[in-house]
Chains A and B, each alone.
Chain A
Amino acid sequence: MKRVAGHFVWAALSVVAALSLAGIALNRGEPINSIWLVLAASCTYLLGFRFYGKFIATKVMALDNDRATPAERLRNGHDFEPTNKWIVFGHHFAAIAGPGPLVGPVLAAQFGYLPGTLWIIIGGVLGGAVQDFVILFSSVRRDGKSLGQMAREEIGKVGGFTALLTVLLIMIILLAVVALVVVNALKGSPWGTFTIAATMPIAVIMGLYLRYWRPGKVLECSLLGFLLVLLSIFGGQWISHSTSLAPLFTFSGVALAVAVIVYGFLASALPVWLLLAPRDYLSTFVKLGVVLMLGVGILFVRPEMQLPAFTRFADGSGPIFAGKIFPFCFITIACGAISGFHSLISSGTTPKMIAKEWHAWPVGYGSMLLESFVAIMAMIAACVLQPGVYFAVNSPAGIVGGTPAAAVATISAWGFPLTAADMAGLAQDVGEHSLFYRTGGAPSLALGMAHIFAKGGGGKAILGFWYHFAIMFEALFILTIIDAGTRVGRFMLQDLLGHVYRPLGRTSWLPGVVLTSAAIVLAWGYFLYQGVLDPLGGINSLWPLFGIANQLLATIALCVATTIFIKMHRSRFMWITCVPLAWLVTVTFTAAGQKLFSSDPRIGFLAQADGLAAALQAGQVAAARVAETQSLIFNARMDAMVCGLFLVLVTTILIDSVRIWVGILRGTREARVTETPFVLSRLRPEEL
């Protein structure tokens, strides 16, 4: 009877998933309720988890709870510790959920809600969750080894080195692009700038509290930090109304970029307990809380989607970033569908905490589906805005015109009616001077979230508070990523340079630390600065570059996963990783090819550089703008070079992998499995 009821529930879920997906895919003209997206996504995720995830766990990887995991065998109370599966789930989810699943869908909403939503759901179930799960399983079977180590062992030295170099490059682009998101959210905003600036002394107070006054009381200390941050939001509102203080916290994009670069350098050199660690604790808790709040808010308010299923920008002429749905939607949304960066987490701390092999199923596959759901919520938050408002906030001045009147005219001509008075009123409601040209995704996401939260209670009166709360939430963990990422980049660079000059590899040698920190900060600072100067808003060039890099890292992870399947004599199941791999290779190579060689200067870096160079040569550039144009030409060529380098690196690892697969399948190469030998698990459930 129980079995029949189970079949009935799964059948009912399948019907609901099919109807909801059909509803959102076939609806045209009428605004649909966001609850359909929630239903389509959640039912598909449940089905994917129960059937596809379990199929991979049982038939392909043959998870075995009798086999001792590294957490049990190498238990040391620090890194290796068998932990309750739901605690590992929460830990892993908190580690993979960054700004990517929030910002990517907001940017991709320029195509309409449908392409991004379908990619998030399908890509999450068939690609992202598979990648995370297989890499986690592989790392658990290999004593918690990292992706780079597994690439070196399974594919070869070239693969290992390529993975390391790709990670370093992706870090640089990631740090630049997330810093740009913060800069664009804070420029000309005394309220936002004060709130974010206040998080630094708050973090220092927390650091001192935790170290000297109440050692070990992290939750208590984070609660105190959260209360202080809430106070700082009210403080920011007061500052923004003060005629004498507001100018002190009002900065241009360039000034904020310089401030973030200087901050990145100093923060990476400060002791971690003083600034980074306390803010990291705080941002993790706030992140989880806000994601939960957004989920509850959407279910409670059930807002209508104002953006259509498809916009006119499906043709590639989008104002936020140029390029058609294929391939650009699929690289704009990486985290949320499939993100290579997750493979670093799945082969980092998590495999060392897995108590039983079967826990990898909810932790690896399940956490990714939850992150995918966060991306759906971000898509909803963007699409509940009036389309005119969405495009006014996200479009750069270089596309819609340098004045509010010009921007309103351009956006209205696209078929998204808007008035300057609407925008001025909205800006006033959220406590900003203007909401035009706030590219980067964070402000429109904050507006959407504020809209949902305010509808839940409080209305317009607290719209400003929720907007700045959302900006604080995004900036808080982006600054933590910048700080931690600069440190990690420094370690990686020191690791590489240590082979050239040994003292540079020592993390205790101050000149080496300063030099490598400066090199990393200058590297991402350069891309940030060019993004701020870019008349097309920076996001147009940097976000696709980041998306390509992230998806290429996923390509490396899926190459490693496929190699492991073949070596495990599971080649009949290699389609499980090869299908997402083939899709990613097609998408990223097409996107990278277009970014390099498209004749449209908004898409192709080289066409952009050539166009500007021709204008310069023909004397069409005003004397005052010659230097700026020259730097734009250099930047476009630099972006092209980075894009080309990514392609070379991944082509190398792809060729290397295929060579190994063919060798094993033909029987000319030994299928040597590098798994640790079987040890019987003696771990009892009550020990967890």
Chain B
Amino acid sequence: MKRLENFFKLVLGILRELGDENAYQRHLALSDRKDSREEWQRFHRGRLQTKYQRAKCC
């Protein structure tokens, strides 16, 4: 049961990483800021700027 729980945690972790949710939590923790619409927009702007300067694979 514990293994199954860990597996689902891992899958959720991968999905949250792919969806930039983990990166946002790290950003909040690192900059000691609270979650807000403005904070998300600030974070997302920077994140996407870096992300889409790289080619997507074929």
Structural contact, A480 and B58, CB atoms closer than 8 A: no
Contact across chains for B26 and A81 when beta carbons are under 8 A apart: yes
Main secondary structure of the interface of A (DSSP, over half): helix
- The smallest beta-carbon distance between A479 and chain B, in angstroms, is 11
B37 A222 Cβ-Cβ under 8 A: no
**A290-346 interface with B by 8 A CB criterion:** 334-335, 339, 341-342, 344-345
A98: Cβ under 8 A from any B Cβ: yes
- Check A212 for interface membership: any CB of B closer than 8 A: yes
Q: Which residues of the other chain, A, contact B13 by a CB distance below 8 angstroms? A: 84, 86-87
CA distance A277 to B46 in the complex (A): 12
Known: A218-B20, A219-B21. A77 touches B30 (CB 8 A): yes
Q: Is A460 close to B, CB under 8 A?
A: no
Given A87-B13, A219-B21, CB of A78 within 8 Å of CB of B58: no
- List the B side residues contacting A348 at CB < 8 Å: 54
- Residues A484 and B57 in contact, CB atoms below 8 Å apart: no
Chain B nearest CB: distance from A296 CB in Å? 15
Within 1-54 of B, Cβ neighbours of A (below 8 Å) are at: 10, 13-24, 26-27, 29-31, 35-37, 39-41, 44-54
Residue of A at shortest CB range from B46?
A: A78
Q: Are B56 and A215 in contact (CB under 8 A)?
A: no
Interface assignment of A390: CB less than 8 Å from any CB of chain B: no
CB-based nearest A residue for B58? A100
With A87-B17, A91-B17 in contact, do A484 and B41 touch (Cβ < 8 Å)? Answer: no
Question: Does A138 sit within 8 A of B, measured CB to CB?
Answer: no
B37/A215 in contact, CB under 8 A: yes
B53 touches A212 (CB 8 A): no
On whether A215 and B19 interact (CB within 8 A), knowing A78-B47, A174-B58, A345-B57, the answer reads no
Tell me whether A341 and B14 are in contact in the complex, defined as CB-CB below 8 angstroms, given that A78-B23, A215-B37, A272-B48 are known contacts. Answer: no
What's the interface size class on A, roughly?
35 or more
Name the interface residues of A480-527: CB closer than 8 Å to any CB of B: 480-481, 484-485, 487-488, 491
Name the residue on A nearest B16 (C-beta). A219
The contact of A344 among B20, B21, B29, B55, by CB within 8 Å, is B55
- Partner of B18 from A210, A211, A281 at Cβ < 8 Å: A281
Within 8 A of B (CB), among A276-293: 276-277, 281, 284-285, 288
Please name all residues of chain A whose beta carbon is closer than 8 Å to the beta carbon of B20 when the two chains form the complex: 218, 281
CB pair A273–B44 under 8 Å, yes or no, is yes
B57 contact from A86, A98, A277, Cβ within 8 A: A98
Of B37, B45, B50, B52, the contact of A212 (CB 8 Å cutoff): B37
Q: What residue in chain B is nearest A272 (Cβ atoms)? A: B48
Which of B18, B36, B40 is A284 in contact with, Cβ under 8 Å?
B18
Verify A78–B50 contact, CB threshold 8 A: yes
Q: Tell me whether A550 and B52 are in contact in the complex, defined as CB-CB below 8 angstroms, given that A77-B27, A81-B26, A285-B15 are known contacts.
A: no
Partner of A480, one of B17, B46, B50, B56: B56
A247 is an interface residue with CB less than 8 A from chain B: no
Docked CA distance A19–B22 (Å): 44
In the complex with contacts A77-B30, A81-B26, A216-B35, A341-B10 CB distance below 8 A: no
A-chain residues with CB within 8 Å of residue B55 when the two chains form the complex: 167, 171, 341, 344, 484-485, 488
Contact present for A273 and B58 (CB under 8 Å): no
Q: In the bound complex, what is the Cα–Cα distance between A487 and B54 (angstroms)?
A: 9
Residues on B with C-beta less than 8 A from A218 are 16, 19-21
**Are A481 and B27 touching (Cβ within 8 A)?**
no
Q: Does A663 contact B (CB under 8 A)?
A: no
Q: Chain A's nearest CB lies how many Å from the CB of B27?
A: 6
A598 within 8 Å of B (CB atoms): no
Q: Is the beta-carbon distance between B41 and A215 smaller than 8 angstroms?
A: yes
Answer yes or no: A149 CB below 8 A from chain B CBs.
no
Question: Whole-angstrom distance from the CB of B36 to the nearest CB of chain A?
Answer: 8
Within the assembled complex, what's the spacing in Å between the Cα atoms of A480 and B44? 18
Q: Please, which residues of chain A bring their CB within 8 A of the CB of B51?
A: 277
Q: Are A488 and B53 in contact (CB under 8 A)?
A: yes
Instruction: Report A279 CB to chain B, min CB distance, Å.
Output: 12
Which A residues are CB-close (under 8 A) to B22?
Answer: 87
A201 touches B (CB below 8 Å): no
Is B58 touching A222 in the complex (CB atoms < 8 A)? no
The chain A residue sitting closest to B17, CB to CB, is: A87
Determine if A178 and B58 form an interchain contact, defined as CB atoms under 8 angstroms apart: yes
Please give me the residue from chain B that is nearest to A481 by CB atom: B56
Is A97's beta carbon under 8 Å from chain B? yes
**Which of B37, B45, B46 is the most central at the interface, judged by chain A CB atoms within 10 Å of its CB?**
B37
The minimal Cβ–Cβ distance linking B45 to chain A, given in whole angstroms, is: 7
Closest chain A residue to B47, Cβ basis: A78
Tell whether, in the assembled complex, residue A273 and residue B45 are in contact, meaning their CB atoms are under 8 Å apart.
yes
Complex: how many Å from CA A281 to CA B35?
21
Q: How far is the CB of A495 from chain B (nearest CB, A)?
A: 10
Q: Chain B contacts of A87 at CB under 8 A?
A: 10, 13-14, 17, 22
Instruction: Check A98–B40 contact: CB distance below 8 A.
Output: no
Any chain B CB within 8 A of the CB of A94?
yes
Cα of A277 to Cα of B18 in the assembled complex, Å: 11
* A99 CB within 8 Å of chain B: yes
A90 near B18: Cβ-Cβ < 8 Å: yes
Residues of the A chain whose Cβ atoms lie less than 8 Å from the Cβ of B52: 272, 276-277, 484, 487-488
A349 within 8 Å of B (CB atoms) = yes
Q: Which residues of A contact B15 (CB under 8 A)?
A: 219, 285
Closest to A76 in B: B30
Give chain A residues whose Cβ lies under 8 Å from the Cβ of B46: 78
Whether A335 contacts B16 by the Cβ 8 Å rule is no
Residues of A within 8 A of B21 (CB): 216-219
Residues of B within 8 A of A491 (CB): 53
Instruction: Point out the residues of chain B lying under 8 angstroms from A94, CB to CB.
Output: 18
CA distance A497 to B47 in the complex (A): 26
Q: Verify if A452 is at the interface (C-beta below 8 Å from B).
A: no
Contact partner of B48 (CB less than 8 A), chosen from A91, A167, A273, is A273
Cα distance, A488 to B53, chains bound together (Å): 5
**B interface residues (Cβ-Cβ under 8 A, vs A):** 10, 13-24, 26-27, 29-31, 35-37, 39-41, 44-58
Q: List 6 A-B contacts (CB under 8 A).
A: A77-B27, A218-B19, A218-B20, A277-B51, A281-B20, A345-B57
| Those 5 A-B pairs whose CB atoms lie nearest each other, nearest first | A218-B19, A90-B14, A215-B40, A77-B30, A100-B58
Known: A95-B57, A216-B40, A345-B57. 5 other contacts (CB 8 A): A78-B47, A84-B10, A211-B44, A218-B19, A272-B52
